[in-house]
Structure 1
Amino acid sequence: MTASRERQTVGRAATRNLLTDNPELYEARFPDPERLAGRWAEDCLRRHGAGARVLDMGCGTGRDAARLHGAGRTVTGADLSGAMLAHARVHHPGPAYVRADLHGFDLGRAVFDAVVCLDSSLLYCHTGDQLDGFLASCRHALVPGGLLVAEMRNGAYFLGRTDLLDTPTVDGFTWRGTAYRSTTTLTVDRTAQLLRRVRVWTSDDGAPPLEQCSAWRLLFPLELRHVLAAHGFEVLELHDGPGPRTEPPWREGQLPGTTTDADRLHLVARLTAPR
């Protein structure tokens, strides 16, 4: 998933985005050596009989798109970040890669059997209009009976729970001889219905601290069902696990759960209305 919707400041002056500007660093920070996200998406597509043409919306560095391509699908990866797309074309070849905005996209006459939207990319639709724009675009891009497969944070998890909010999370790793350290703080903006993230990067190469801010829409399961139905989608699966980012993670052959209580949501929906 791309980091292209983050706002960045260094000493409060907007400059660059550490992860988007350095896709290899992004992959080092968020490794997926087993390609669990792509394999999980392929499992959903296969179980529900999706055709071969897949649009990976918010494809980021292209790892998941390439995994779906390797499974025999004809894949288009779409993202806003030019750096991410350039990296994907070189390091994860096979899919076609295009620049597009998930708030509303038009890929011309291209039609797809499925739209995949992983790692909370869908939650960068912060407003009702943006979410409507995404789903209307999906409806236009999909064949009748096409699938929407998504994986994201679960807004309902934050009803009365503060364990992910109480203490900043500190992570560190080394990339190309430089040690990086990130301190991440999550807060709930109830008025905007957003989960806001502030991540401060430091490194041992003498660079000044870099602050990056982003946010995800806090979508609740019943709310998600309602807006999908309004756009002509029938929910086939909506559950909290197992999935590629749950503990324990999803494994081949595991069936979807039946609850929506944990901190991730996994969605499979079918377009039942005409395009």
Structure 2
Amino acid sequence: MTATTVPHNLLTDNPALYEARFPDPDRLAGRWTEDCLGRHQAGRRVLDMGCGTGRDAAHLHGAGRSVTGADLSEAMLTHARTHHPGPEYVRADLHGFDLGRGAFDAVVCLDSSLLYCHTNDQLDAFLSSCRRALAPGGLLVTEMRNGAYFLGRTDLLDTPTVHTFTWQGTVHRSTTTLTVDRTAQLLRRTRLWTADDGSAPVEQRSAWRLLFPQELCHLLAAHGFEVLELHDGPGPRTEPPWQEGRPPGDSTDADRLHVIARLTTPH
């Protein structure tokens, strides 16, 4: 059976399927983010850019924050409003947004969402938007794949990985292959979805920008941010699992990169 290639993200278009594929009962990303905000004494007003299904935004709301969750996917926003109420959910684009000058004490951008800014212009637009949205001294908290990990390493590349899970009585299987596009500085992902319900396979293609730690520091400084923490752990997707109270490390060698920066030069 020939696979159908779809222009949209299958998981983004099906939020319940996304949460089944990536369950997070302990809200690890939300707990890590709240710990970061608390340690650096951020104010209550938080913008979660690329909020997805709203799980982390709702966790921060439950911790006493005044949260706005923003995403480009209407399907995700509808799911978030229904299943993870509390925050205000709005439609906004990572590549440039204006949700009020100085309206937030922190901007949060989790799960490699920042890396959907593929070009330098898109990265500049995102950071300019964050700078505009933050009050003086506001925080940017983000975690993402680490571009430096792929310097000389191929263990995550070119070999398909398979994950199987059951959702609504149907067994779903994703076969994912990662490749590096060195010219574009992108990590490209091809994912083939199959299910045991007889539906046609679906092939999905996406990509993340590969950012290196010092490159990211340079970009942040150019937009008026001081880097407070830059490390590969602890964080919501590091091994061993993140735990509150564990001090941040100083390595940037692992697959994930965690960054906390403070706005020192507002618009």
Amino acid at match of 1:246: T
Displacement of 1:101: 0.2
The CA distance in 2 between the partners of 1:178 and 1:213, in whole Å, is: 23
* Correspondence for 2:251 among 253, 259, 275: 259
Which SS does the other structure have where 2:254 is aligned?
coil
* Correspondence for 2:210 among 218, 227, 230: 218
- The aligned residue for residue 236 of structure 1 is 228
- Identity among equivalent positions (%) equals 81
Displacement of 1:15: 6.0
**1:168-226 CA deviation, whole Å, 9 max, x = no partner?**
11000000000000000000000000000000000011110001111000000000000
**1:101-153 CA deviation, whole Å, 9 max, x = no partner?**
01100113560000000000000010000000000000000000000000000
Which SS does the other structure have where 1:19 is aligned?
helix
Amino acid at match of 2:263: L
TM (norm. structure 1) is 0.94
The CA distance in 2 between the partners of 1:166 and 1:72, in whole Å, is: 44
Runs of 4+ in 1 over 2 A off after TM superposition: 10-18
Q: Which runs of 5+ in 1 are unaligned?
A: 1-9
CA root-mean-square deviation: 1.2
* Correspondence for 1:143 among 135, 150, 154: 135
The CA distance in 1 between the partners of 2:256 and 2:3, in whole Å, is: 33
* Correspondence for 1:108 among 73, 91, 100: 100
Which SS does the other structure have where 1:267 is aligned?
strand
Whether 2:78 is the aligned partner of 1:78: answer no
The CA distance in 2 between the partners of 1:43 and 1:13, in whole Å, is: 40
**1:5-54 CA deviation, whole Å, 9 max, x = no partner?**
xxxxx745546543122211100100111000000000000000000000
- The aligned residue for residue 16 of structure 2 is 24
- The aligned residue for residue 7 of structure 1 is none
Paired residues for 1:3-14 under 5 Å = 11-14=3-6
The CA distance in 2 between the partners of 1:16 and 1:208, in whole Å, is: 16
**1:71-129 CA deviation, whole Å, 9 max, x = no partner?**
00000000000000000000000000000001100113560000000000000010000
Whether 2:228 is the aligned partner of 1:248: answer no
The CA distance in 1 between the partners of 2:69 and 2:15, in whole Å, is: 15
Displacement of 1:166: 3.9
- The aligned residue for residue 198 of structure 1 is 190
**1:44-71 CA deviation, whole Å, 9 max, x = no partner?**
0000000000000000000000000000
Paired residues for 1:36-47 under 5 Å = 36-47=28-39
* Correspondence for 2:41 among 22, 30, 49: 49
Paired positions, count: 266
The CA distance in 2 between the partners of 1:66 and 1:151, in whole Å, is: 18
